[in-house]
């Protein structure tokens, strides 16, 4: 047998072994340690994100993932301590959903980068942080536009609505409001009042109670988070007030009310599970030596009574 023939046979054997190699096993090759941080676990959305991330992490047995959370979405000290600890322990990658604390976290994240730690921002951008290994992003302005269009299709010109905010001034939340208003353009519907509940259901309830007194002709309500909307719904129930109500996030409590025809009519899907899955996959890519840059999570539309039951079936934990 000639050397050429032997080389050919060896080559064919190698090709055969590669063809039989499971594709999923290719994803198991990266190794390293990853710290995955969300701002708090007092919101079902973050719990759902972590649940999806933990499940996805099972695809990468060579990577040690550590999952943790801070005390609240707008406080930084506990998150800073976790970041500093990760650097001390020699972790390779930090995945961070900063909530409202991105700017406060920037110095600690920059120090981590200086020590060779790769930083991946997830869900909420951190504009003050440069040179992130990856930025997992969502078009927060485009996503709620269908909600504005839905409201425009249900109300009539001249009708007045209220807008309930969560941390006005935050870029992500401002985009949610602006996208909803984009969908209202040309409808003749007027925003009578806007207020900030700071994602607090109790504050949202108090705001809604005041608005029902000050603006008894309100025909609709848009909230840029479901967590605050639940508080406003309590005020509507207590006043026995019927209006078109739209939220944002697709949290289970809100979707169950939509499915039951109970106060809430629609909500914008914010795919927390996709952020969890995408963040884990992106961390594996970074550990494999890739430079993912901007990674987009696709928008998912809105939930109405027509698709609420199916959404709950598909995402029972969200």
Report pLDDT digits (tens) over 197-254: 999 999 999 999 999 999 999 999 999 999 999 999 999 999 999 999 999 999 999 9
Distance CA(92)–CA(192), nearest Å, equals 50
Residues 155 and 259 reside in one and the same domain: yes
Number of folded domains that form the chain = 2
pLDDT, residue 72, reads 85
Instruction: Quote the tokens at residue 192.
Output: 């009578």
Q: Quick check: is 16 in a domain?
A: no
Check: CB of residue 254 under 8 Å from CB of residue 233. no
**Model pLDDT, residue 11:** 40
Total-model pTM: 0.84
Q: 95 and 35 share a domain?
A: yes
**Do 225 and 265 share a domain, yes or no?**
yes
pLDDT at 304 over 60: yes
Q: Assess whether 190 and 280 both reside in one domain.
A: no
Asked whether residue 95 falls in the same domain as residue 196, the answer is no
233 and 214 housed in the same domain: yes
Task: Evaluate whether residue 200 is within a structural domain.
Answer: yes
Note whether residue 49 is domain-resident.
Answer: yes
Question: What does the buried/exposed string (b/e) look like for 185-216 if buried means 16 or more CB atoms within 10 Å of the residue's CB?
Answer: eebebeebeebbbebebebbbbbbbebbeeee
What residues contact residue 298 under an 8 Å CB cut-off, 6+ apart?
271, 274
Shared domain check, 260 and 283:
no
Of 297, 275, 269, nearest in space to 52 by CA: 275
Identify whether the C-beta of residue 79 lies closer than 8 Å to the C-beta of residue 37: yes
Q: Are residues 93 and 172 in the same domain?
A: no
Could you tell me whether strands 190-196 and 32-38 are parallel, antiparallel, or unpaired per DSSP bridges?
unpaired
CATH number, position 93? 3.40.50.2300
Residues 211 and 66 in one domain: no
In a domain, 292, yes or no: no
Residues 154 and 205 in one domain: yes
Cα 224 to Cα 152, 251, 296, distances in angstroms: 17, 12, 21
The verdict on residue 300 lying in a domain is no
Same domain, 134 and 162: no
For the chain, give the percent of residues with pLDDT over 70.
Answer: 91
Calculate mean pLDDT across residues 284-303: 97
Q: 224 with 165: CB under 8 angstroms?
A: yes
Q: Where are the alpha helices (DSSP H) in the chain?
A: 3-19, 23-26, 44-57, 77-88, 102-114, 145-154, 171-184, 201-214, 226-239, 252-260, 272-287, 308-314
Per residue in 32-81, pLDDT (tens digit) is 999 999 999 988 889 999 999 999 999 999 999 999 999 888 789 999 99
Note whether 155 and 35 are same-domain residues. no
Range of the domain at 216: 145-270+305-314
């Amino acid at each position: 047998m000639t050397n050429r023939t032997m080389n050919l046979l060896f080559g064919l054997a190698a090709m055969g072994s590669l063809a039989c190699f499971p594709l999923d096993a290719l994803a198991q090759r990266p190794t390293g340690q990853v710290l995955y941080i969300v701002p708090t676990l007092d919101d079902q959305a973050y719990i759902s994100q972590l649940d999806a991330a933990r499940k996805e992490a099972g695809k990468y047995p060579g990577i040690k993932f550590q999952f943790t959370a801070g005390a609240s979405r707008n406080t930084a000290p506990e998150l800073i301590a976790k970041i500093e600890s990760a650097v001390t322990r020699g972790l390779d990658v930090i995945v961070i959903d900063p909530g409202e604390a991105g700017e406060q976290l920037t110095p600690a994240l920059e120090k981590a980068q200086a020590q060779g730690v790769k930083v991946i921002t997830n869900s909420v951008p951190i504009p003050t942080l440069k040179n992130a290994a990856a930025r997992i992003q969502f078009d927060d302005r485009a996503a709620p536009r269908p909600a504005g269009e839905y409201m425009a299709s249900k109300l009539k010109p001249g009708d007045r609505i209220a807008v309930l905010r969560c941390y006005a001034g935050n870029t992500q939340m401002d985009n949610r409001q602006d996208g909803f208003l984009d969908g209202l353009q040309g409808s003749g519907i007027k925003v009578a009042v806007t207020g900030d509940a700071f994602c607090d259901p109790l504050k949202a309830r108090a705001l809604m109670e005041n608005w029902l007194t000050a603006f008894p002709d309100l025909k609709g309500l848009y909230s840029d988070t479901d967590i605050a909307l639940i508080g406003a719904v309590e005020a509507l129930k207590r006043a026995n007030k019927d209006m078109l109500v739209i939220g944002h996030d697709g949290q289970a409590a809100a979707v169950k009310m939509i499915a039951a025809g109970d106060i809430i009519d629609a909500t914008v899907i914010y795919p927390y599970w996709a952020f969890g899955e995408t963040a884990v996959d992106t961390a594996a890519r970074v550990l494999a030596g890739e430079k993912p840059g901007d990674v987009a999570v696709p928008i998912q539309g809105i939930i109405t009574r027509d698709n609420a039951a199916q959404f709950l079936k598909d995402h029972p934990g969200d």
